[in-house]
Amino acid sequence: MKPIYFDYNATTPLDADAFESMLPFLSENFGNPSSIHRIGRRARVMLDQFREKAAALLGCKSHEIIFTSGGTESNNLGIFGVSRLMKRSDRNIIVTSPVEHHAALHCVEYLEKYEGFRKILIPVDRNGRVIVEELKSVLTTNADKVALVSIMAANNETGSHQPFQEIGNLCQEFGVIYHTDAAQWFGKESIDSGILFFNADLVSLCAHKFHGPKGVGILYAKSPLHPDPIIFGGGHENDRRAGTENLANIAGMIKALEKITPGPEDSMLFHWKQWIQEIRKSLAPLDGLKFWSSEENSLRNTLMFTFSNQDAISILAALDIEGICASSGSACSVGSLLPSHVLLAQGASETEAKGAIRLSIGRETTGEEIQKAISIISSTLSRIQKN
């Protein structure tokens, strides 16, 4: 039986055209873009063309594109690079939210613990959205000391949209740099005006979230912002990120980006929203089931729920046996289940936060799979409840 893949927020299958675009750089076009001979120069030309193509697709300047190894590095470079840069101007406060991806949140925690920064967490509401008035209050009091505001565009667990455009306006008003992790947005929601849609000074992208290869991403850094590097060596990426550029992965990412920018077709977005609503409607009658994804302000492909104080591992294992590949908002480590920090911030109990189940659909999902999955998930949860 072919598994039904409901874990697109974790990763997506590599697009066939993206795969094909990578192959020349794994064979004849193997040159190092920093080499001065003809093979190296040819690689440099391709790297420059990819950067220009990315800039054209995202609606920004080519020198504002920094190629990285993925979303984690993009977040690290944005947060470490700008925070350390701004600390030289006597700014040592980093403002973020408690629902950020750990690739961002752990950076802030490290800077607070070891480098003399102070973090301020802006609380979220029941739907996981940052309370903008709380952010405004913090900036009103501390703007001259704030090194960076880092708040994501959409949450990887619940799919919750953040009011990033309002946040960007506030940061501009108070003269504060704003970074947003948009890894989950690309390929799942429309982008009206390219990278400027996010109204941010720094934006993180991750290729494997939108059918590109793993191990490559982009950090957009609005000119003339120049984050301090966190990887040292050669002068790659205009002295912002040392290391020989991975042309094969970059080629795949640009092709995948080309196919989803400025956004997926409206029909696909409509189907995703409709299908998630169907799943929600089918599960709603089950006693003890609670949804943590907002119907109005969440990624249209994402649904997170908890069920009858059940732990996530048991539910996921039961679903996997039935051919449903889903995931949890919790982190598993050496057999122990950690509560989802996202759900805790949204007011869940620790027991609930250990039992979160996330369903995320995508480009290859079919209506037939949705109907089959509805039947399997409903019957599986009913069986677990009876036991």
pLDDT tens by residue, 245-279: 999 999 999 999 999 876 665 678 789 999 999 99
Q: Is 4 helix (H, G, I), strand (E, B) or coil?
A: strand
Cα–Cα distance for residue pair 284/319, rounded to 1 Å: 18
Answer for the pair 273, 280: CB distance below 8 angstroms, yes or no: no
In degrees, rounded to 5, the angle at the alpha carbon of residue 343 between the alpha carbons of residues 167 and 321 is: 125
pLDDT value at position 309?
Answer: 79
Sort strands 332-333 and 336-337 into parallel, antiparallel or unpaired. antiparallel
Spatial distance between the Cα atoms of 17 and 26, rounded to a whole number of angstroms: 15
How sure is the predictor about 333, in pLDDT bands with cuts at 50, 70 and 90? Answer: very low
Largest CA distance in the chain: 70
Estimate the crossing angle of helix 102-114 against helix 71-87, to 10 degrees. Answer: 30
Cα dihedral 188→365→302→191 (10° resolution): 10
Would you say residue 332 has pLDDT above 80? no
Backbone angles phi, psi at 359, to 5 degrees: -110, 125
Q: What is the pLDDT of residues 38-67, one digit of tens each?
A: 999 999 999 999 999 999 999 999 999 999
Delimit the domains of the chain by residue range.
16-260, 265-386
What span, in angstroms and rounded, lies between the C-alpha atoms of 51 and 42?
A: 14
Let me know: does 178 contact 144? Beta carbons within 8 Å: no
Whether domain 265-386 has CATH 3.40.50.880: no
Among the listed residues 208, 327, 201, the one whose alpha carbon sits nearest the alpha carbon of residue 260:
208
Give me the pLDDT at residue 191, please: 85
Write out the two tokens for 319: 């679903």
| Residues recognised as catalytic | 332
Residue 224, preceding peptide bond in cis (omega within 30° of 0): yes
Q: Are strands 178-181 and 202-206 parallel, antiparallel or unpaired?
A: parallel
* Cβ atoms of residues 124 and 146 within 8 Å: no
pLDDT the model gives residue 190: 87
Instruction: Mark out the alpha helices in the chain (DSSP H runs).
Output: 16-22, 38-58, 71-87, 102-114, 132-142, 164-174, 236-239, 247-260, 266-283, 312-321, 341-345, 350-353, 367-386
> Does the pLDDT value for residue 178 go beyond 60?
yes
**Average pLDDT of every residue of the chain:** 94
Virtual torsion, Cα 97, 103, 106, 108, nearest 10 deg: -60
Region at 359 (left for phi over 0; alpha for psi -120 to 50; beta for the rest): beta
pLDDT at 114 over 90: yes
| Fold (topology level) of 16-260 | Aspartate Aminotransferase; domain 2 (3.40.640)
The residue whose two tokens read 């494997």 is 208
Quick check: pTM over 0.75? yes
Fold match between 16-260 and 265-386?
A: no
